[in-house]
Amino acid sequence: MGGVYEVYINEDELTKIDTMRDIRMGTQDFKKVRDSDWLYVDKTGLIHDVLFGPSEVTLFTRPRRFGKSMNLSMLDAFFNLEYPEDNTWFDGLVVTKCPKCMAHKNKYPVIHLDLRGIGVTDVDEFIRDLAYNISSLYQKYEYLLDSDTICSINKKDFEEYRNGDANPISLRWSLLTLSKMLEKYHGQRVVILVDEYDDAIQNAFGTDVQEFVLKMIGDILSRALKGNDSLEFAVITGVTQIPQESIFSGFNNIIVNNIFSSDSDDCFGFTETEVKGLLDEYERPDKLDEIRSWYDGYRFGDADLYNPWSILRYVSNGFKPGKYWASTSKNEILGTLLENADEEVFKDLRTLSQGGTIFKYVDPAVTFDSIMHGIDNIYSMMLVSGYLTAVSEGGGYRLSIPNMEMYKVFGHFLDRYTKSEIVPPNNTWDTNKLSEAIINNRTDEVGSLLYELFSGTLGSAMLVNEHVYQAFITGLLMELSGLYCVTAEFESGNGRYDIMLERRSGEGPNVLIELKRCPTDANQESAESMAYSALEQIRQRDYTHGLTGRTLIYGIAFRGKNPVVVSDILEISG
């Protein structure tokens, strides 16, 4: 845990969360959150760790939307001498328990550069967007132009940066130049904060501008952070840890704090104590088990953590679970993985999606372009990006899917990429409806949803055998992975069942589904007869062998796109 927690407060104080009524999603301005009296989960222990850590420059890498930008905004509010020392933004927060920390409050000129969203279509776009970001940064310090302490040559450089006229060569010196000016004007070394340093770098991988972008960002940072006498300290954030030889070459003053680091491990993401406090604030402590199954499961260093973005969306959306974090990205990592996967990868993914674990040697210093140079690199990228969680074991790591939200993401991608002959349904079709209808034994609804699905998705010429129906339905039910082990065409009893949902957690029933495809000239009566014969096949061949407890069995017969659905309930003793 962060040092300020250990040294200055007791366990009762650690449970404290500011009780603020409103949640504002997407707001990453700490000052605005505090001024507006919105919900803020206290992460000011990071201030102690930054001030008294072992290095002048710290790179924090965590998955997207785990609080990196809010933490940088908080550091800016605390250290920046632009703001009045008597501000109330930190009143009641953990950092006020640390007198050594408070001695640094609003004492430094701060440079806060955000490198998100820079275009990388070509070199011209990248330079134009980068120059715009630098221009916006310099505009905050126009008071330097009125100072007699800044020479005319430096003022000319300042105007070039402020006006967005800097060329690629001069842009490399932009942060260093500004830090020198600020230190000379204020008589105080500067704090540099750089948010999402790797965003443009990762977006450029595999394109013609990859090397140019990497070198430009590397040059800007190395000039400002290595051997800069005007620097007090710097904090950088990103999702990935670009290998040091690629971007931080020659740095001897940088410490990388990644998902395996124990220092500051609870400063990104929500701890269970904080989640309990949040639920108490909104008077819904009864939701802890649900929120735990959906959004818990991450481990950074020695801390067990919840996904903060998803929890805030869950609470603000009326405590309705969903794929909130997953919906903020195209999940291109999983797409890249599955587009280039071999049978070994699919075997691993099936193991993971069924609640199992896999053992891998992973390296947190991994980039998108390294995905194609080794299977373990793929899993390294998935791990640092938040799709998997890891526990150290025998020199490597035991990987697993952390929670229900990620099970649903994996289920969607397995559905999409394991059925090359079938086009998945469009995004307006809610697969949750089918899953819920099946596990709740609503046979009429199951039938109508299957008809709606097949009618709106597949051509009749594709429905050539039972396997097509089986593959499509199985893929959709992969969304239940985590609650269920979803399997198809496996040996059980005296034969091979079509689809099984074996309960892994919760109180839902086990489910067995046997499918039949009717002849094209079959009538409704014949289809019903085939559906009941499918039920009888489940019983006679003992497909439920090994299951215990309440079990639903379904017989589904298809006449083209028209299903007939019948079911029965079994109580199987252990």
Residues 29 and 104 both lie in one domain: yes
Q: Give the separation between CA 489 and CA 470, rounded to whole angstroms.
A: 9
Residues 204 and 102 both lie in one domain: yes
Q: Is the pLDDT of residue 442 over 90?
A: yes
- CA-CA distances (angstroms) from residue 69 to 81, 142, 214, 239, 333? 20, 25, 21, 11, 22
Domain end among 405, 432, 447: 405
Q: Is the pLDDT of residue 422 over 70?
A: no
Query: Is there a domain that residue 263 lies in?
Result: no
Q: Is the pLDDT of residue 50 over 80?
A: yes
Q: Is the pLDDT of residue 414 over 60?
A: yes
What range does the domain containing 321 cover? Answer: 272-327
Domain end among 257, 285, 302: 257
Domain end among 350, 371, 405: 405
In this prediction, residue 455 carries a pLDDT of 78
pLDDT, tens only, 268-278:
999 999 999 99
Q: Which residues pair with 306 in a beta bridge?
A: 270
Residues 209 and 277 both lie in one domain: no
In this prediction, residue 438 carries a pLDDT of 95
In this prediction, residue 296 carries a pLDDT of 94
Query: Is there a domain that residue 338 lies in?
Result: yes
> Which of 74-78, 278-282, 333-337, 469-473: highest mean pLDDT?
74-78
Residues 226 and 346 both lie in one domain: no
Residues 526 and 539 both lie in one domain: yes
Residues 372 and 284 both lie in one domain: no
Residues 430 and 559 both lie in one domain: yes
pTM (predicted TM-score): 0.79
Residues 392 and 341 both lie in one domain: yes
The count of domains in the chain is: 4
pLDDT, tens only, 224-257:
999 999 999 999 999 988 877 678 777 777 999 9
Residues 137 and 276 both lie in one domain: no
Query: Is there a domain that residue 264 lies in?
Result: no
Q: Is the pLDDT of residue 194 over 80?
A: yes
Query: Is there a domain that residue 205 lies in?
Result: yes
Among residues 268, 323, 122, which one has the least CA distance to residue 203? 122
- 135: three-class secondary structure by DSSP: helix
Place of tokens 């998803």: 310
Write down the mean pLDDT value for the chain: 86
Q: Give the separation between CA 143 and CA 185, rounded to whole angstroms.
A: 10
Lowest mean pLDDT, pick from 59-73, 373-387, 439-453, 457-471 = 457-471
User: At 331, is the pLDDT very low, low, confident or very high (cuts 50, 70, 90)?
Assistant: low
Query: Is there a domain that residue 225 lies in?
Result: yes
pLDDT, tens only, 149-192:
888 888 999 999 999 999 999 999 999 999 999 999 999 999 99
pLDDT, tens only, 521-535:
889 899 999 999 999
Interval 443-453 mean pLDDT? 91
The per-residue b/e assignment along 177-215, b for 16 or more CB within 10 angstroms, e otherwise, is bbbbbbbbbeeebbbbbbbbbbbbbbbbbeeebbebbbe
Query: Is there a domain that residue 15 lies in?
Result: yes
Residues 504 and 515 both lie in one domain: yes
Percent of the chain with pLDDT over 70: 87
Query: Is there a domain that residue 486 lies in?
Result: yes
Query: Is there a domain that residue 412 lies in?
Result: no
Please answer whether residues 119 and 129 qualify as being in contact, where contact means their C-beta atoms are separated by less than 8 angstroms.
yes
Residues 74 and 88 both lie in one domain: yes
User: At 340, is the pLDDT very low, low, confident or very high (cuts 50, 70, 90)?
Assistant: low
> Which of 49-63, 201-215, 319-333: highest mean pLDDT?
49-63
pLDDT, tens only, 88-145:
999 999 999 999 999 999 999 999 999 999 999 999 999 999 999 999 999 999 999 9
What the block records as the tokens of 274 is: 């904080």
Residues 77 and 203 both lie in one domain: yes
Q: Give the separation between CA 216 and CA 247, rounded to whole angstroms.
A: 9
